[in-house]
Every structure is written in structure tokens, then in C-alpha cells.
């Protein structure tokens, strides 16, 4: 796999690329360095000899680099001018680095830049106008590099982790229709979705002939539903080479991913989440499964999607209730890994663009953690923050409490428990931001004993004690604690009390 950096002169492709490669332990390749080594002349000298010849050499070098071993690759600013180069970059993990023009000009001041000779600001503006659409056409995202290099590098590392755990992830408007790409091939493909999603999305571009509908909501996550998918898939002639596309909310991607993990001992699948819950959490990381009457997700598998398409466009049309559901996952992720995001979501009138950015940031955080621990044998467990108690609430209430509401209540209970067990008090900020989004922080009538009994069926239980993820601060990585049931019951009583009474 190649992690390719594109962008205008001065955007930091070489300096940041070299540091990123060092953190990954990968080779670093600068295409300009390769060109100079092969030609025995500097880039300015080659330009003065003729730009057309330089571009031909540049294209040949890029082709050879992309055929080589895994590497971080920094490219020349004009690499995207050649259509064949753009086609090659579409097959790689390509990121566009950018900065405001004054920053780029300051960084280029001491170098010999033939294309900026003379009136540098005017020439740079012309390069931007010409190349910006081309960078956008090949890159899966744009990263502004005018902050501290360490902060930018942290974002680059998160992107690299995403690239490694979800090699085919695509971002941006229109991505949900790109699932057509994976249904073209030597074998039939299947689209797992729900009727509500199909009705809302309108006509799909090149939809596969095999459309497997599942019920809406949690009802999709039943063994009987997945068994029906098996029968219909056999009748449709699906085979080991077939792709499965799960197109919908978190329950659709859970069920569709589990179907893909188990049909014919596993086929490739693609996640196309259309809800904030799905984009921020549920469709990511490859944990797929279905429910039993005894509890949530008790039957499942680790089966990472080969590709993930995250499109902010559907988020703009979500009803307020669906946005609230997703914000429970966004807030959870902010608590465990991003204080800046936590403060950003305190604003409760986001645009569609900011919702998409929040979902993307959550995806980066989650997938960076998953990359380190794909099968949840260690650090990945921190992603269960709010969910151990939340799943118990869902089960005890017969799913009358929705997933987002249950996670919200779980975050409150676990914040209170952190105060008792860890001596860390984050209750007030957690409750404040949840309540601001209309998420519950109390639920009268919940029986702590019944919740603890439901938690005994959780996969993370250790005998009569429970392994819980407890917040250690806002934006601070949570801590795992083994807690006895009496302490859990005491903490759960807070959910029956009026807010602010503790």
C-alpha cells in the first residue's frame, strides 16, 4: 500500500511525509529526489531544459514507485496534471496537503521554484486555480498544514491508521453511490439494505440485481433475518468472489457485515453508512453481529469491511431524533480521545458540513485504535465507554430506550462510577453536553438489580465482577477497572434520581 501526499509547493509533503514514514517504520520516497537522481540534474535545471520532458520523466518515476513496496510517497506539485497519473493515484491512498497562500509563499521563499519565479503571489494563485480541482479529484481528503507540525503529524498518523485498517475508505459527497464500483466484476454482488433506506435514497446508480432487504432498526439484527439472507443469497447465485454492500444505518451494517462474515465462510463486504451513528461508530472497525433475547451482539464476528464509504450528504436530511442518536456516539468518542471535539459539540446547531467533519473525526479516532487492536484483546476495549451499561438498559427496557439514549445513560452512570472508583469527576461536563443535545441523563424506573443481572451476560464479565471502561477525563484515554456488583448497583441508582441531586 502507498500513502501518497499531493499538494502545492510548500504544503509540507516532504517534511511531513518523512516524519510520517519514520513513525510507521516505512520507506519514504520523494518523487522529485528520484527524478534528480535518475537525471543527474536538479529540478530547476530540468525545468529550464523543458517542462514537457520533465513531466514525462515524472510520470515514469511515479509509475515505478507505485509498483514498488509499501511506502509514504511525496509527489511534485504538478503530478496531477497528467490524466494517467491521476488514474494511478486513484488506486492509492492519496491525501491532499494544503495551506493558505501566504504560508506557502513563506515556506517557498528560500527555494528555487521555477513555477513561482517573478510575481510569486500571482503565479501561486494561478497554480491553485489550475490544480485544486485535480487534487480534489484524486484525494480522499484535504489536510490543512498551517498549524504546528506535531499537530498536523498527529492527524496524518490517524489518517494512516485509517488507511491500514480500512484500505478502501472513501470520503466526501456522493460516496454513497460509489458502491456501484464493487458490484461490477466476474460474480454477482448483493446489496443489503432496508426498505426505508431505499425509499429515502431514491434511484441508486447501477444497483446490483440482488437486493436483500432487512427490517428497519434493531429488528434487522436477528438470526432469523440473517438466515433468510443466506437462503436468498444462495438462490441469487452469490459465491465466494461476490461482494456484499451493507447500505444503511448501524443495524443494517451490523447485520449485513455479519451475513458477509458467515456466508460461505466469509465474503468481502463494503459498509455504506447513511446515519450519524453508522458513520461515527457502528459501521467502522469490523465488529459485526446480531442480538439474542438474552442480550445485544452475543453472536458476532470480527470481519472488517474491505471498503467504507462515508458521505456527509445524507446527514443533512436526518431527522433531529436520528442526529441525537448519533451525537451520543460522537460525544462518547470525544470524551475518550478528543477534548477539542468535545468542546466543538457543545454547539448544538451544527451545519451538515460540521456533522460530517465530526463523524470523520470520530472515524479517525476509532480506526486508529482498531488498527492497534483489531480483535479487542487490549486497548480497543476503551471504545466500549458507555456501552456496557447502555446495552443492559436496552435489553432491560425491551429496546424501548433507543441505542443512543442508552449510551447517553451509560455515559452518565459510568462517569459517576469513575468518581467512586477512580476519583475522577467528569460528571458535570458529560451531563451538560448530553442534555444540551436532548439526550437523557436520567431514566426513572430503571431497576439497578435488573441492569446488573443483564450485565452478567456481557462478554466482558469476569465472574461476579465486571470489567468496565471508566472515563479518566475529557479527551483523556479511559481506564479499565474491575468493579464488583455492589458498587455498580450504587452507581446505577443515580439514573433514577433527579438531575443535579447527587
Residue 170 lies in a domain: no
Return the CATH number at 442: 1.20.1090.10
Half-sphere exposure of 186 (CA within 13 A, CB side): 3
pLDDT digits (tens, 9 = 90+) for 400-459: 999 999 999 999 999 999 999 999 999 999 999 999 999 999 999 999 999 999 998 876
Catalytic residue (one of 384, 414, 416, 466): 384
**Is a pLDDT exceeding 70 seen at residue 237?**
yes
Q: Which residues of 301-328 are buried (b: 16+ CB within 10 A; e: fewer)?
A: eebbbbbbbbbbebbeebeeebbbbbbb
Give me the pLDDT at residue 452, please: 94
403 in active site: yes
Give me the pLDDT at residue 188, please: 66
Residue 366 lies in a domain: no
Span 370-387, average pLDDT: 91
Burial class (CB in 10 A: 0-12, 13-18, 19+), 350: middle
Write down which residue in 132, 148, 164 finishes a domain. Answer: 148
**Count of structural domains, the chain:** 3
394 in active site: no
332 in active site: no
Are 77 and 181 part of one and the same domain? no
Are 137 and 59 part of one and the same domain? yes
Catalytic residue (one of 88, 221, 380, 416): 380
User: In the structure, what pLDDT confidence band is assigned to residue 180 with cuts at 50, 70 and 90?
Assistant: very low
Catalytic residue (one of 296, 391, 416, 466): 391
Q: Which residue has the higher pLDDT, 141 or 11?
A: 11
Write down which residue in 148, 165, 187 finishes a domain. Answer: 148
**Is a pLDDT exceeding 80 seen at residue 285?**
yes
Strand 28-30 and strand 142-144: pairing? unpaired
Residue 210 lies in a domain: yes
Are 304 and 407 part of one and the same domain? no
Give me the pLDDT at residue 161, please: 66
Please state, for a pLDDT cut of 90, what percent of the chain lies above it. Answer: 59
Residue 105 lies in a domain: yes
Are 125 and 220 part of one and the same domain? no
Catalytic residue (one of 131, 176, 403, 416): 403
Q: How far is CA 316 from CA 32, 201, 310, 323, 446, in A?
A: 42, 13, 13, 9, 34
State the cell numbers at 238.
Answer: 452469490
Are 482 and 393 part of one and the same domain? yes
User: In the structure, what pLDDT confidence band is assigned to residue 181 with cuts at 50, 70 and 90?
Assistant: very low
13 in active site: no
Q: Which of 105-109, 278-282, 349-353, 399-403 has the lowest mean pLDDT?
A: 349-353
pLDDT digits (tens, 9 = 90+) for 31-56: 999 999 988 989 889 988 888 989 99
Catalytic residue (one of 93, 366, 416, 466): 366
User: In the structure, what pLDDT confidence band is assigned to residue 360 with cuts at 50, 70 and 90?
Assistant: confident
State the cell numbers at 186.
Answer: 466476474
Give me the pLDDT at residue 187, please: 56
Are 232 and 139 part of one and the same domain? no
132 in active site: no
**Is a pLDDT exceeding 70 seen at residue 204?**
no
Return the CATH number at 78: 3.40.50.300
Average pLDDT over the chain reads: 88
Catalytic residue (one of 88, 296, 360, 387): 387
- Where in 202-328 does DSSP place strands (E)? 210-214, 243-248, 268-273, 287-292, 295-302, 307-310
Q: How far is CA 267 from CA 167, 240, 256, 412, in A?
A: 16, 6, 11, 39
303 in active site: no
Residue 358 lies in a domain: no
Q: Which residue has the higher pLDDT, 355 or 208?
A: 355
pLDDT digits (tens, 9 = 90+) for 120-168: 999 999 999 999 989 987 887 788 999 888 888 988 887 776 566 555 5
Return the CATH number at 300: 3.40.50.1970
Helix H or strand E encompassing 194: strand 190-194
Are 293 and 204 part of one and the same domain? yes
Residue ranges making up the domain that contains 304: 175-318
Q: Quickly list DSSP for 98-138.
A: E--HHHHHHHHTTS--GGG-SSHHHHHHHHHHHHHHHHHHH
Catalytic residue (one of 140, 329, 394, 414): 329
Handedness of CA 126, 129, 135, 138 (dihedral sign): negative
Are 255 and 311 part of one and the same domain? yes
Are 124 and 209 part of one and the same domain? no
Are 101 and 8 part of one and the same domain? yes
413 contacts 495 by C-beta, under 8 angstroms: yes
Are 130 and 41 part of one and the same domain? yes
Are 392 and 433 part of one and the same domain? yes
Residue 337 lies in a domain: no
| Residue 465 β-bridge partners | 462, 484
459 in active site: no
297 in active site: no
Write down which residue in 300, 318, 336 finishes a domain. Answer: 318
Q: Which of 231-240, 248-257, 370-379 has the lowest mean pLDDT?
A: 370-379
Q: CB count, 10 Å around CB of 295?
A: 18
Give me the pLDDT at residue 184, please: 37
Task: Report how far residue 502's alpha carbon sits from residue 500's, in angstroms, rounded to the nearest whole number.
Answer: 6
Amino acid at each position: 500500500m502507498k500513502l501518497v501526499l499531493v499538494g502545492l509547493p510548500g504544503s509540507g509533503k516532504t517534511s511531513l511525509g518523512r516524519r510520517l514514514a519514520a513513525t510507521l517504520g516505512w520507506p519514504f520516497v520523494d518523487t522529485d529526489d528520484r527524478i534528480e537522481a535518475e537525471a543527474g540534474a536538479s529540478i530547476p535545471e530540468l525545468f529550464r531544459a523543458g517542462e514537457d520532458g520533465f513531466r514525462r520523466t515524472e510520470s515514469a518515476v511515479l509509475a515505478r514507485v507505485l509498483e514498488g513496496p509499501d511506502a509514504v510517497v511525496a509527489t511534485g506539485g504538478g503530478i496531477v496534471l497528467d490524466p494517467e497519473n491521476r488514474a494511478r493515484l486513484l488506486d492509492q491512498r492519496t491525501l491532499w496537503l494544503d495551506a493558505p497562500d501566504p504560508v506557502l509563499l513563506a515556506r517557498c521563499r528560500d527555494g528555487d521554484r521555477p513555477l513561482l519565479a517573478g510575481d510569486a503571489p500571482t503565479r501561486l494563485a494561478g497554480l491553485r486555480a489550475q490544480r485544486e480541482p485535480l487534487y480534489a479529484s484524486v484525494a480522499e481528503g484535504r489536510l490543512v498544514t498551517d498549524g504546528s507540525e506535531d499537530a498536523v503529524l498527529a492527524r496524518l498518523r490517524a489518517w494512516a491508521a485509517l488507511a491500514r485498517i480500512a484500505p478502501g475508505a472513501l470520503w466526501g459527497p456522493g460516496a454513497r453511490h460509489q458502491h456501484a464500483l464493487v458490484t461490477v466484476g466476474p460474480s454477482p454482488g448483493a446489496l443489503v439494505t432496508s426498505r426505508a433506506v431505499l425509499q429515502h435514497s431514491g434511484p441508486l446508480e447501477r444497483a446490483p440485481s440482488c437486493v436483500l432487504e432487512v427490517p428497519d432498526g434493531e429488528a434487522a439484527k436477528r438470526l432469523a433475518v440473517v438466515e433468510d439472507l443466506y437462503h436468498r443469497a444462495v438462490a441469487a447465485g452469490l459465491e465466494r468472489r461476490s461482494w456484499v454492500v451493507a447500505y444503511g444505518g448501524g443495524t443494517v451494517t451490523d447485520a449485513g457485515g455479519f451475513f458477509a462474515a458467515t456466508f460461505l465462510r466469509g465474503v468481502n463486504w463494503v459498509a455504506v453508512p447513511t446515519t450519524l451513528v453508522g458513520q461515527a461508530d457502528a459501521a467502522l472497525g469490523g465488529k459485526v453481529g446480531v442480538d439474542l433475547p438474552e442480550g445485544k451482539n452475543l453472536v458476532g464476528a470480527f470481519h472488517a469491511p474491505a471498503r467504507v464509504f462515508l458521505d456527509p450528504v445524507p446527514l443533512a436530511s436526518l431527522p433531529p431524533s436520528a442526529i441525537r442518536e448519533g451525537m451520543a456516539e460522537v460525544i462518547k468518542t470525544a470524551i475518550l480521545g478528543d477534548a477539542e471535539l468535545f468542546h466543538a459539540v457543545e454547539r448544538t446547531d451544527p451545519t451538515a458540513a460540521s456533522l460530517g467533519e465530526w463523524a470523520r473525526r470520530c472515524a479517525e479516532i476509532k480506526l486508529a485504535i482498531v488498527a492497534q487492536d483489531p480483535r479487542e484483546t487490549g486497548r480497543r476495549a476503551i471504545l466500549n465507554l458507555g456501552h456496557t451499561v447502555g446495552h443492559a438498559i436496552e435489553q432491560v427496557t425491551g429496546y424501548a430506550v433507543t441505542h443512543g439514549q442508552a449510551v447517553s445513560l451509560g455515559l452518565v452512570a459510568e462517569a459517576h462510577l469513575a468518581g467512586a472508583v477512580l476519583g475522577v469527576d467528569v460528571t458535570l461536563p458529560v451531563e451538560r453536553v448530553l442534555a444540551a443535545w436532548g439526550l437523557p441523563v436520567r431514566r426513572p424506573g430503571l431497576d439497578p438489580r435488573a441492569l446488573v443481572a443483564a450485565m452478567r451476560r456481557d462478554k466482558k464479565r469476569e465472574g461476579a465482577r465486571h470489567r468496565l471502561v471508566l472515563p479518566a477525563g475529557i479527551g483523556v484515554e479511559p481506564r479499565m477497572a474491575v468493579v464488583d456488583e455492589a458498587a455498580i448497583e450504587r452507581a446505577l441508582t443515580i439514573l433514577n434520581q433527579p438531575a443535579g441531586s447527587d
